[in-house]
Amino acid sequence: MKVNVAVIGVGDFGRMHIEVLKDNPDVNLLTICARTEEKLRRISKEYSIPKWSTSVEEVMQASEIDAVVIATTEETHFKFTKMAVENNKHVLLEKPVCLDPLVGGKLIELDKATDRIILPGHILRYDAAYNRAKQIIASGEMGKIFSIRVKRNVPIERFSLHSRTHPVFMALAHDIDIILWLTGDDVKKVYALSRKTDLSYNNPDVFFGLIEMKNGVVCNLETQWTLPNEYGQYLDTELEVMTAGGNIKLKYPGDGLKVMKKGNLHCYDLTLWPKVNGRMVGALANEIDYFIRLIKGIDKEQIVTVEEAVRGIKIGHMLIKSSDEGKVIENI
């Protein structure tokens, strides 16, 4: 039996969800929803989607819809998720699940009070490399973790598109989640520094953080939205874990495929959402497939919980507070 799904939000990332959902044999993508009628008409025709609507309420109340993907801006996430579960729908909620820890608390309460699935969209847990690193650490073969270093740098041209949200939530939310996942622990204290290289934006585009976990693991975090566009890559990402038994290194996009074309270097994504024979595969496809398997009862335990996602938001606020106040912030 197929799961009937609606997508709320059809920006770039929402469209990626649409592509994956259309290719999933266990899904009927019935409806898309956004504010712009012209855009909805165009996308529904392009992907042969039966229905579209500019009304979130209308979509949530539709009895034929089993699940929704919420890929809208962050301030709408709690409202739309609450509306979905109150109408008996499962939710794949894109990150960051919220921006306010108080709203996060309400989201946790909502999750505990419903039998509907609310799955945070932390895509790296479904990436083959990160998932394998987790398996290796969980096996115990690497011994105790000493430190974790993460980097998530972004081309300059993308900052204007995403600067509405602080880089800690837009970029480092992924890496904070990975740190929580790999260590299985909570934060003891943080310290951070930031810089605005362009004063026309409200948020900094350079951010460095240090985290000490309660179990003693030291973590170094970096995000800079100043990567030269000429590198031709979506992200420049690294993970390094130092342990008693050695170390683990991961780099995205890596050196799998590079093309020099007309004086510019192009580094291609081979893990998050690459296309193979016209079909999108990789971490996003794995995440959506996992969501559908949870709904159908094939998988029983969520790989990431709402509570874990909200904990990451609280840590993000600690880092920002440390940067703003110039002092160490302890997790009380």
pTM across the whole model: 0.94
Inter-residue long-range contacts of 9-14, CB under 8 Å, 24+ positions, other chains counted:
9/33, 9/34, 9/69, 9/70, 9/71, 9/72, 9/73, 9/94, 10/34, 10/39, 10/40, 10/43, 10/71, 11/71, 13/71, 13/94, 14/69, 14/71, 14/72
Predicted local distance difference test score (pLDDT) of residue 256: 86
Predicted local distance difference test score (pLDDT) of residue 202: 93
* Domains of the chain: residue spans and CATH: 3-121 (3.40.50.720), 125-272+312-330 (3.30.360.10)
User: What tens-digit pLDDT sequence spans the chain (332 residues)?
Assistant: 899 999 999 999 999 999 999 999 999 999 999 999 999 999 999 999 999 999 999 999 999 999 999 999 999 999 999 999 999 999 999 999 999 999 999 999 999 999 999 999 999 999 999 999 999 999 999 999 999 999 999 999 999 888 899 999 999 999 999 999 999 999 999 999 999 999 999 999 999 999 999 999 999 999 999 999 888 888 999 999 999 999 999 999 888 898 998 888 888 989 999 999 999 999 999 999 999 999 999 999 999 999 999 999 999 999 999 999 999 999 97
Predicted local distance difference test score (pLDDT) of residue 265: 87
Predicted local distance difference test score (pLDDT) of residue 169: 96
Computed from CA positions of residues 328, 195, 170, 284, in that sequence, does the dihedral angle turn out positive or negative? negative
DSSP letter (8 states) at residue 144: S
